[in-house]
Amino acid sequence: MLQDRRVMKLSALWLFFNTGCDDVDWPEPQYVSSLRVLGVQANPPTLTPGASTQLSIHCVDGAKEANTTTACDVDVAWFARCNNPKDNDPDHCIGGYKQLSNHLASRIAETQAVDYPDGFGFGPYFNFTAPDDVLREGFEAAGSVVKYGTSYVFFAICAGQLVTVRNVSDRLPVECRDRKTGKPLDQKRFVVGVTTVYSYDRITNRNPVLSAPRFDNVEIPSRCSIDAKCPTGFECSTGNRCLPVVQSCMKENSADCKEHCLNFELGIDSYSLFSINGDRLEAPKKSLWLTYLTNAGNLPDDEASFALHAPPDGATVKRTPCIRWRPPRTPTEEAHLWAVVRDTRGGFATWDQRIIVR
């Protein structure tokens, strides 16, 4: 099997590793009230031996005051020396990053790019190249045996400054400190995780594409201006975006509040694998999942995620189920719904829907 359940969990990840505190208050999965990694996107999501991809962190910060942006202001470090580890378990690679700390400045941001050790990167983007000998295993697809290899890239993001830790082998050699006081920051401001990059010899993957967003069954225009007005119930806001405008909920029981729906279209290409020449393969299809989060209001569903099934035979597009959301009591210009789509071959897409609550 291409990937066991443990690897699927890791590749879907925003992982939180314990940073030394046994009694910690971990963030609620559905509600963003701290620094949160939505995922890592690879462009392209799959490689051939010797080819490169650009990895980018997608994060949000829900620990800010009301009506301020949720954009991240973070240090990001990358660690990429983990190809086909024993038992396909990236934990076996952690100890190998100990030596990298000898090449890094105490404040990692002060390390010159020319001095970065092999397999290390700093900043929101990281270029990863698959080794020439990465292909190790095989599986059958489209009547042929496809060879593949698995690479794991660790990351650490800090809403402060990343500093080097020497002589540690049970975790990444970094910690997160406050930029002014130098005090250590906890898991609400410091996230460590791992993302998976697959290499193949005969097939490729593409990132899923969320399109035609609808809010309460009204398609959200991509742009607005003086000449291109927003639909009723929307306002043209910063960035020339049409934003939904809803009323705050003053009910004692949030279940009595008006429920809103956000959904999207996914085309057949989002469910497909392709040949090296770019031809769509009829089989196997990818499995997709959508997970959603918010920083305000209420998500009625106990588990804020669902499987995304492929369009029926002959169809090329399918609309996702509703992301159900109820507004908060407190008005805000910065309520957000985040939708995250992942597939079983490293594909990733996200959507940030900002909502004005009056």
> Can you give the three-state secondary structure of 63-74, one letter per residue?
CCCCCCCCCCCC
pLDDT (0 to 100) of residue 143: 74
pLDDT (0 to 100) of residue 149: 95
DSSP per residue over 141-206, as a string?
ETTEEEEEEEEEEEEEEESSEEEE--S--SS-SEEEE-TTT--B--TTTEEEEEEEEEEESSEE--
pLDDT (0 to 100) of residue 49: 96
pLDDT (0 to 100) of residue 65: 64
Cα–Cα nearest to 123, from 156, 97, 99: 156
64: pLDDT strictly greater than 70: no
pLDDT (0 to 100) of residue 142: 65
Average pLDDT over residues 274-289: 88
Question: Residue type at 304?
Answer: A
| Per-residue confidence band for 121, with pLDDT thresholds at 50, 70 and 90 | very high
Measure the CA–CA gap between 295 and 61, rounded to whole angstroms. Answer: 9
**In Å, what is the CA distance from 292 to each residue of 70, 135, 183, 239, 352?**
16, 34, 32, 23, 10
pLDDT (0 to 100) of residue 67: 64
pLDDT in tens, 200-226: 998 999 999 999 999 999 999 989 988
pLDDT top residue among 186 and 17: 186
Average pLDDT over residues 235-244: 91
Peptide bond into 312 cis (omega under 30): no
pLDDT (0 to 100) of residue 144: 79
Q: Is 331 exposed, middle or buried (0-12, 13-18, 19+ CB in 10 A)?
A: middle
| Percent of the chain clearing pLDDT 90 (strictly above) | 71
Average pLDDT over residues 235-253: 90
pTM flag (> 0.85): yes
**Mean pLDDT over the full length of the chain:** 88
| Per-residue confidence band for 140, with pLDDT thresholds at 50, 70 and 90 | confident
pLDDT top residue among 275 and 283: 275
Average pLDDT over residues 254-278: 92
User: Rounded to an integer, what is the distance from CA 35 to the centroid of its chain?
Assistant: 13
pLDDT (0 to 100) of residue 21: 33
pLDDT (0 to 100) of residue 28: 65
